[in-house]
Amino acid sequence: MTTIQKPLRSRTRQARRQRAARSPRWLLIGAEVGLPVILIAAWWFASAGSTNIFFPPLQTILARLWQLTQTSEFLIDIGSSLGNLVASFVIACLLGVLLGLALGTSRFLSWLLEPVIHFFRAIPPVALVPIFVSLLGFENETRILSITVAALFPVLISTIDGVRANDETLDMVSRVYRLTWSERLFEVVLPAAAPRILSGMQVGLIAAFVVMIASEMLGSSTGLGAKTLLAQQTFTIADMWAGILLLGIFGYLATFLFELFRRRVLRWYIAAQQQERQL
């Protein structure tokens, strides 16, 4: 037993040495928080005395943003935008994984459907919005459909890839130990494909965010995108900046929350990769 444990111990010693050689944690966190702070400060001071109507002082923008958040109409806009984003993203993830599993495991289905999928994937999702508007009108369903379609393809394609890349040995293990259909799906196939699936979801989330804004800018009167465009067209420039700023914040938060989710789901994967790097 002792002879087996020895290499492990030296591995961790080596790991500690490597960890010490890397930048300390506080410096990394400091840089992550510090850079945005510096950028905001630069914006604040550079714009402080601005008389340029298109480039109002940051102070004015923030004051306007604060004012806006006090109005119920603005809160409804935010709710509508984020509601659409979350609902569509969740639908896209579920649909993408389900379809991806089917296409990844069935040779016939993938042979049948893959050319179509790659055709639609090649069209930028924003370009599809006008089609949906002309087909479905200006209702909220149009926006949900647009966002869902945008987020669907990255999830779908990464799921197909993930399922196909499944290791042959694990497949034999599942067969030899006669795992049931659902055990194979939930304990082997999905976890093995999870790293790729979640990368696809990450890309899907960004696409969804872009299309959320675009779909609101095309013939909608509610939502942050619509309000920001309206402000630009009516020369309420502070409102426009406030909208853009808020969109940036929400975009950041969305990616941040997703990253937390990813780290939770892929704990084993991230830890295993770290281990591998340290060896």
By CB under 8 A, name the binding residues for other proteins.
1, 3-4, 7-8, 167, 169-170, 172-173, 175-180, 183, 187-188, 191-192, 194, 268-269, 271-272, 275-276
- The pair of structure tokens assigned to 162 is 């993930």
Question: Which C-beta is closer to other proteins: that of 73 or that of 276?
Answer: 276
Question: Which C-beta is closer to other proteins: that of 95 or that of 188?
Answer: 188
Closest approach of other proteins to the CB of residue 190, in Å = 10
Q: What is the largest CA-CA distance in the chain?
A: 77
Radius of gyration of the chain (CA): 24
Closest approach of other proteins to the CB of residue 194, in Å = 8
Closest approach of other proteins to the CB of residue 196, in Å = 14
- The pair of structure tokens assigned to 269 is 């994967």
Closest approach of other proteins to the CB of residue 161, in Å = 18
Decide: 151 and 93 in contact? Cβ < 8 Å.
yes
Question: Which C-beta is closer to other proteins: that of 35 or that of 272?
Answer: 272
Residue 23 φ/ψ region, left for φ over 0, alpha for ψ in the -120 to 50 degree band, beta for the rest: beta
Closest approach of other proteins to the CB of residue 187, in Å = 6
Decide: 88 and 151 in contact? Cβ < 8 Å.
yes
Cα–Cα distances in angstroms (integers) from residue 210 to residues 31, 171, 204, 245, in the given order: 27, 39, 10, 15
Q: What does the alpha-carbon distance between residue 75 and residue 107 come to, in Å, rounded to a whole number?
A: 48
> Which residues, including other chains, have CB under 8 Å from residue 179's CB and lie 6 or more apart?
187, 188
Question: Which C-beta is closer to other proteins: that of 6 or that of 107?
Answer: 6
- The pair of structure tokens assigned to 39 is 């950028």
Question: Which C-beta is closer to other proteins: that of 141 or that of 183?
Answer: 183
Closest approach of other proteins to the CB of residue 270, in Å = 11
Residue 205 φ/ψ region, left for φ over 0, alpha for ψ in the -120 to 50 degree band, beta for the rest: alpha
Closest approach of other proteins to the CB of residue 271, in Å = 7
User: Strand, helix or coil at 245?
Assistant: helix
Question: Which C-beta is closer to other proteins: that of 2 or that of 51?
Answer: 2
Closest approach of other proteins to the CB of residue 112, in Å = 26
Decide: 159 and 193 in contact? Cβ < 8 Å.
yes
Question: Which C-beta is closer to other proteins: that of 44 or that of 269?
Answer: 269
Question: Which C-beta is closer to other proteins: that of 169 or that of 233?
Answer: 169
Burial classification of residue 156, based on how many CB atoms lie within 10 Å of its CB (0-12 exposed, 13-18 middle, 19 or more buried): buried
